Chains A and B, each alone.
Chain A
Amino acid sequence: MNFIVSILFSFCAVIVLVLIPWIGVGAFNLRVLFGIIVPYAAMATFFVGIVVKVIGWAQSPSPFRIPTTAGQQWSLPWIKHSPIDNPRTTGGVVVRMIFEVLTFRSLFRNTRLEYRNTDGVPKVDYEWEKWLWLAALLFHYSFLVIFLRHFRLFLQQIPGFVTLLDNLDGFMQMGILPIPGLNIPEVYLTDMLIMLALTYLFVRRLYIPQIRYLSLPADYFPLFLLLALGFTGILMRYLLRVDVTAVKELAVGLFKFQPKSPEGIGVIFYIHLFMISVLVAYFPFSKLMHFAGVFLSPTRNLSNNSRIKRHINPWNYPVKYHTYAEYEDEFRDHMIEAGLPVEKQPEGAAETGEKE
């Protein structure tokens, strides 16, 4: 299997996933299936799957305290300690985790290897590389904002923060849209950013030879799925307008557990809804679980205090080791000869006479 197979497989899988609701709703009018049953099933899979997965992880203990220490330990009082990068206390760990989760701090450290060989003389350099960090950050935060913006569809009463986000997100459109007369609404900044970030994340997998080599279908598939999700969303908002009132009726119904299947919503909406359904149902079985896993990561969420306070391993068991007595029994004569203290005098010493 190589990158071409990986990409083709993932791409075809997403195409098939687009076709399913397209045909299902477009040709067979299965609006209840794709508007109600599939989303509910997906959400159920999402929540149950995540809970099962996280409990599964949590059932295995962290037998040893193995934080990756990225700064000075807490030792002598006059030596400056790094309380975040090498936390001694739970407070330090919490701050470290907050930085990790909200700012991707470890990824921010990233550098790029620059290897040169000039006439047989190697030169190893490390260049500035923040693009991956930037793209990752843009993707995740755009996704969050877009998700929160969607609450104007889920809730009958639109919360204030959603309107605020909406306004902020729509504010910076650099005068391109709306084009008067075309009836195209304001452009969301996050719509552009998420597509840009996803495209970058895909292109770098293709373009950087090492990343191309190590990428699996499981890396391309979620990217394509997210691109399809974003693309259908953008299409719906800017070109193939759907009846927003009807969409809201459906979404609010789903949320209130009083599902309705209003008429007259374009197929594009069902494709969009199916993409997000597949994404959330796929979530617990995929690498996307990193969002929950990062909180449990023992190299990040443990403090470096195992010399100060004993860390308990729940399955610690006694082992047989070579005891001092066994050691002295083997080397006693040599030890006495070398003037090393011994616990027992040699048995032979008293009995030598009898044994000639």
Chain B
Amino acid sequence: MADTTPKPEELSRIDHTPPFMRGWMDTPVEIRKGIACYGAAGKNLSAVGMPNARNWTPFEDDWKLPDDWQSIVKEGFRDRLDKFRSLKLFMDICVRCGACADKCHFFIGSGDPKNMPVMRAELIRSVYRKNFTTGGKVLGKLAGARDLTEDVLKEWWYYLYQCTECRRCSLFCPYGIDTAEVTILGRELTNLLGLNTDWIQAPVANCNRTGNHLGIQPHAYKDMLDFFVDEIEEITGIRVEPTFNRKGAEILFITPSGDVFADPGTYTCMGYLMLFHYLQSMGLDITWSTYASEGGNFGYFTSHEMAKRLNAKMYAEARRLGVKWILGGECGHMWRVLNQYMDTWNGPADFLEEPVSPITGTKFENAKSTKMVHITEFTADLIKQNKLKLDPSRNDHLTVTFHDSCNPARGMGLFEEPRYVIKHVCNNFYEMPPETIREQTFCCGSGAGLNAGEDMELRMRGGLPRANAVQHVHEKHGVNMMACICAIDRAVFPTLMEYWVPEVDITGVHEMVGNALVFEGENERTTDLRGEPLAGMEDDEDV
């Protein structure tokens, strides 16, 4: 954590009262370190053909904009108004009732009034009114309209990249106005000028070239999984045998590369490997891909087009390998993209078959068209059909709660499947307060490409509502582990917990599945996948 990040005591002094006399239009933006991310590097912009590729930094006055930047944005705006009813409608119908105002984790954690979702959208709406409505052209400020100046553009940028597109606000809006939609399209406009953050642009460039955000090349990808194979053997005595880029496999498995690369996601990855091995003798025929080695999609934080380009690899690889259907790992925005966009962008997937579990024969009718199944749907079905021998007591050293990741929650409705799995692989499970879970879940504070290092203060602020709910169950029930189904969650929560609730650690659901799975002929387990002693085995470690 950056030294400059304020301490929790300091950071939690939050004033939610906006200035009394000074209106928001008269308050110019101040781009603060710790809140904003670094600007996209020229090489990462040009790698995928983004416009205005150059090195730039948001902390300097000169953003190196093209001369005609205003007309580029206005044209881009007009184009998107014609293409997206959502944008057109959301520009016109907000009544500023303020129901969304205190629902945003960034407003709760920062008190910055422009982080109220309605204000974030008003920053864009004000320019819309000035350029596309008669009232705005005539009455100007009195109609809530303003010119698109460089200051306004910078304000847009600052607040568009302080939104994690979690859609919590849209749940409470009486007209369903979705600030994520405004943010997504607003970011598209900034990307017409080469104004991405590098934390988004670099993964996009990597993913385009190597197949995954982290830039892991095919041989290294295999190396990492081989390393997990050894680890699993050490703990269980079982040697799992994943295959890669294998033609003719029945199922293609795609998961976020974060699971392959960064703790504690790696333990979740070990869980997948163990589950697949367990099912192998029962008829599971599955392969991993190094080309489509990314479930997540940072293109989605850039533009619809970039998201579509990166997403296209999934179906392309499924077609090349000749699989029947695709199984997707635990990832948040990946599943919003798969559920709400993939088929529309890159379908129809008529070269695949309607997914059927080879173990249970269950038809996944809810994935009839995309042909892509969520792994918790797959595993919940296995457990329900009694196909897994599980020993939940192997997770007795954990007292678990579950964080609903924003995208599978509000962009899909995946609530019961992960809970069903969790309740069968562990004995101690407690929910956080109802206003903080399921459809009302709070973001980790680092989604939508904000999981960088330089914006740590923003992340700790945005994660406060979630951390506070964890604190509550930690104190009340002794929760020491939060499960989640998102690779960004797994990457960012350890830092957030260390900051606010250091006693709580983070796990993926399939890490706990891996712990609980009972293999024939395995060694007696004394530790979990992390090498931590199981409950009742603490003494054995010392021997």
Contact = CB atoms under 8 A, between A and B. Distances in A.
Interface of A: 1-6, 9, 53, 56-66, 68-76, 78-80, 82, 85-86, 100, 104, 106-107, 109-113, 115, 117, 120-124, 126, 132, 136, 208-219, 285, 287, 289-290, 293-294, 296-300, 304, 306-313, 315-316, 319-324, 327-328, 330-331, 334-335, 337-341
B133 to A, nearest CB: 8
Interface in B313-353: 313, 316-317, 320, 338-341, 343-345, 347-348
A75 B370 contact: no
Contacts of B414: 73, 75
Interface string B369-412: 11010000100110010000000000000000000000001111
Given A2-B23, A214-B119, A306-B343, A68 B92 contact: no
A311 B343 contact: yes
Interface in B273-299: 290-291
B81 interface: yes
A347 to B, nearest CB: 18
Pick from A3, A79, A117, A337 the residue with the most CB of B within 10 Å.
Answer: A79
Contacts of A122: 8, 12, 14, 464, 468
Most A C-beta atoms less than 10 A away, residue of B18, B93, B309, B369? B93
Given A287-B93, A309-B369, A320-B309, A70 B219 contact: no
A216 B410 contact: no
B536 interface: no
Interface stretch (B61-69, B140-148, B191-199, B250-258): B140-148
A328 to B, nearest CB: 8
Given A63-B84, A107-B174, A210 B102 contact: yes
B235 interface: no
Interface residues of B, number: 125
B86 A298 contact: yes
Task: Specify the main secondary structure of chain B where it touches its partner.
Answer: helix
A340 B244 contact: yes
B312 A214 contact: no
A293 B143 contact: no
Contacts of A71: 413, 415, 439
Nearest to B292: A324
B262 interface: no
A76 B464 CA distance: 34
Contact of B468 (A82, A85, A123, A315): A123
A65 B368 contact: no
Contacts of B82: 59-60
Nearest to B87: A60
B412 A73 contact: yes
A179 B369 CA distance: 70
B96 A214 contact: yes
B465 interface: yes
B261 interface: no
Contacts of A80: 416
B366 A340 contact: no
Contacts of B143: 216-218
B56 interface: no
Nearest to B24: A213
Nearest to B95: A287
Interface of B: 8-10, 12-14, 16-26, 81-89, 92-99, 101-103, 108, 113, 116, 118-119, 122, 133-135, 141-144, 167, 170-178, 181, 208-211, 217-219, 222-223, 244-247, 290-291, 305, 308-310, 312-313, 316-317, 320, 338-341, 343-345, 347-348, 362, 364-370, 372, 377, 380-381, 384, 409-417, 420, 433, 435, 439-440, 464-465, 468-469
A68 B170 contact: yes
Contacts of A214: 24, 96, 98, 101, 113, 116, 118-119, 122
A340 B226 CA distance: 13
Contacts of A117: 12-14
Given A1-B23, A124-B465, A335-B219, A69 B381 contact: no
Nearest to B219: A338
Contacts of A56: 88
A40 B142 CA distance: 28
